[in-house]
């Protein structure tokens, strides 16, 4: 594309809006393979061209994230795939996101967590370390003041602000612990999402507070629901993604962002069919 650089610049600065729109449509049609060349166009020194190019890059990235996430919904079989889906979901809402930078932060945290837990002998002692590390040292906790904010449900915002909702905070624990060599599973309680490591249940939203079986029974009781023999079992990565998408859809419907909400509902249907 670079050999047509001057022509593209002329078209993107044309006085006819239809010409500019057609040029942008054609650039979008090339898909992700053209993004590196488009980024070079951002150095042309023309703010008008730069704005149009940013629009094109954003649209390509959103469409690419949609396609990849739709494909992943057919088989969310592991937490590794779940993490990939979460980054794609973030790119759908935040085109231009530097995923490798956020993933590298997880790598660094995991390295530190591994050092802290390498000599631990019990699930309980590790969970106590998890709480000290994530809640006290890194400062992750629930955002009760502004619970229904889209930012609370998307990993990059949660990582930056150290605030989130139960499911998004749980994902931080799950993904970082996996890199450190430990398994943390999600557990879906009525109206609340927690995690477990081995036999120990704990709550990332409330500073990794350890929960007893009776604490969980009380949560069911407050919702007038019976607790079953498998109610505290780990849920699958597919069900976790469904929970995340449902939370986002609810938030978007409240903000009357119906187009995006419809897309999320479509992905939920795909997961139901998987």
Q: Which residue has the tokens 């996430």?
A: 69
3-class DSSP assignment, residue 186: strand
Q: Return the CA Rg of the chain.
A: 22
pTM here is 0.89
**Cα dihedral across residues 20, 23, 24, 25: positive or negative:** positive
The mean of the pLDDT values for the chain is 92
pLDDT classification of 2: cutoffs 50, 70, 90: low
Length of the chain: 274
Instruction: Report residue 101's pLDDT band, with 50, 70 and 90 as the boundaries.
Output: very high
Identify the residue whose tokens are 């419907």: 253
**Residue 3's pLDDT band (cuts 50, 70, 90):** low
Query: Where does the pLDDT of residue 1 fall: very low under 50, low under 70, confident under 90, or very high at 90 and above?
Result: low
Q: Taking residues 203-232, report their average pLDDT.
A: 93
Domain ranges for the chain: 2-63, 79-273
């Amino acid at each position: 594309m670079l050999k047509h650089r001057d022509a593209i610049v002329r078209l993107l600065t044309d006085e006819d809006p239809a010409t500019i729109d057609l040029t942008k449509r054609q650039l979008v049609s090339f898909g992700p393979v053209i993004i590196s060349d488009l980024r070079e166009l951002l150095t042309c020194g023309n703010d008008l061209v730069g704005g149009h190019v940013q629009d094109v890059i954003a649209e390509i990235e959103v469409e690419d994230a949609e396609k990849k996430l739709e494909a992943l919904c057919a088989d969310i079989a592991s937490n590794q795939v779940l993490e990939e889906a979460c980054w794609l979901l973030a790119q759908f809402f935040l085109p231009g996101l530097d995923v490798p930078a956020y993933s590298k932060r997880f790598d660094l945290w995991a390295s530190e967590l591994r050092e802290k837990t390498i000599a631990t002998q019990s699930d309980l002692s590790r969970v106590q370390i998890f709480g000290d590390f994530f809640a006290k040292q890194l400062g992750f906790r629930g955002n009760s003041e502004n619970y229904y904010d889209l930012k609370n449900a998307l990993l990059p915002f949660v990582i930056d602000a150290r605030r989130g909702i139960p499911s998004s905070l749980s994902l931080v624990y799950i993904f970082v612990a996996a890199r450190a060599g430990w398994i943390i599973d999600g557990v879906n309680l009525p109206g609340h999402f927690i995690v477990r490591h081995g036999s120990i249940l704990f709550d990332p939203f409330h500073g990794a507070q350890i929960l007893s079986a009776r604490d969980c029974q009380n949560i069911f009781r407050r919702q007038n629901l019976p607790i079953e023999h498998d109610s505290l079992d780990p849920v699958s990565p597919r069900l976790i993604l469904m929970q995340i998408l449902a939370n986002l859809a609810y938030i978007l419907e409240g903000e009357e962002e119906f187009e995006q909400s419809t897309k999320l509902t479509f992905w939920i249907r795909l997961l139901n069919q998987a």
